[in-house]
Structure 1
Amino acid sequence: MFSRIREDIYCIFERDPAARYVFEIITTYPGIHAIIIHRISHWLWEQGFKWFARVLSNVARWFTGIEIHPGATIGRRFFIDHGMGVVIGETAEIGDDCTLYHGVTLGGTSWQKGKRHPTLGNDVVIGAGAKILGPITLANGARIGSNAVVVKDVPEGATVVGIPGKVVTPRKLHEKRREEIAQKMGFDAYGATQDMPDPVANAVNRMLDHIHQMDERMDKLCEEIHRLGGVLEVTPLPELVAEGFGEEQAEGGISGSSKRDSQNPNT
């Protein structure tokens, strides 16, 4: 137990740039106070002194604002940053090298006895205000965004954001093409992705797809005309000024595309 407490203290230097020395951590960090008391109360819980364990955990709650049930199983090098409002339920299981920020809840969704709280793998980070609910599993390396509500299993190395929590996946090829067209037009579809429930964003995405296909066709037609010996008169495209997007964005994005067109004899 004491070796684990020592690891809990020294791991803070790696995860909190504000930490300066051990004495400061021991005397001023509520997260380390809560985990030290939990190590003791959990030992009492396993030895059958459940009432004493609950009393000790309540003392930690009064002084730190962090509520950890003594029945919860917590691995090595556990760090709670800031800590106020953190709740960890009785059947929660936390692996090694995990980090929780303030306002995190590892809660249950059932009044039935048995396993009803989350299981965290190793190297899991949960952002401030996130709620992880039910007997679900967050695999190794999972990342949970602030204020997310997670009620389903999270695969290894995945990042989850939103309410309800959704896994953030790398951008696909067609999404990268949309971004390129949006930058050319001087318009960003307010960071929206296809799976977001926004009909305006979906409509804009369809338009960007259509514009991309039209650009490809026009480039092929111009190349074929030049190959056959034809000559094209290149006229710069007019600037598009969209109200509400700012002069800098409109002029930078659109005039940039006009310059590109004027410099390219194939368009």
Structure 2
Amino acid sequence: MNVQREDQGQDRDQDRDRGQDLQGDCGSCFGLCCAALPFSRSADFAIDKDAGTPCSNLRTDFRCGIHTRLRESGFSGCTVYDCFGAGQKVSQVTFGGTDWRQAPDTAQQMFAVFPVVRQLHELLRYLAEALTLKSARSLHAELRRALDETERLTLSTPDVLVKLDVSAHRQEVSALLLRTSELVRAEAGRKKKDRRGADLMGARLRGADLRGANLRGAYLIAADLTGADLRLADLIGADLRDAALAGADLTGSIFLTQPQVNAAKGDAGTRLPPGLTRPAHWE
């Protein structure tokens, strides 16, 4: 029994450390999201930028020159992005702290590796959350094995990472996360309509009872969710850009991330799950 408790304590310590590693640390990154990723002129970005081309706002110290005024400068898309810690992992671990300006010959490979590791870190974020869900206790052993394997993949060499079939791994993990979701949502005590991947853009869902709903990958862009009850809802991959969440209750919702929250519009009455913070731009 003592050995089991000790093992459980070590698991909790490891999970806490992993949780810290899954938060972006721009000070330890070589501006990879600002250089490796493309974006197009739109409501989210003021300019076009090709993949592998550093943003014109990226300074020589890898900091953003307009970080404090991104929204008013037309770069709101930057404010809702999160690498889940992949940036510092690639910068400091995969490439050993040598940046792409110091070693230009590494730039192309570093920029190719970053989005792969970012996908793996996003999966780590979901798996770490799943391990905190008591309703999914029967799956914890499988979840921990999946987390360990995903972490192992993030520590691969650049040559291995650029060839990794991350889609196949993602499908395996997603199937396990769906099983986790079903256990959690069953707590709602009733069968809810499956809205997975549903087109709910601009939908009028004010005050809607969405407890235990499956909203995985749903398009909720500009939807009116004012005062909606989203407890126990699965929001993995849901597009919440400009969704009205004023007064909505998201406590107990699962797989909701900070980028999703940042992209939505809430207020002081919006209730969020533990670990997520109210964005500064909310009223």
TM-score (norm 2): 0.23
Calculate the TM-score normalised by the size of structure 1.
Answer: 0.24
Rg larger in structure: 1
Richer in strand (by share): 1
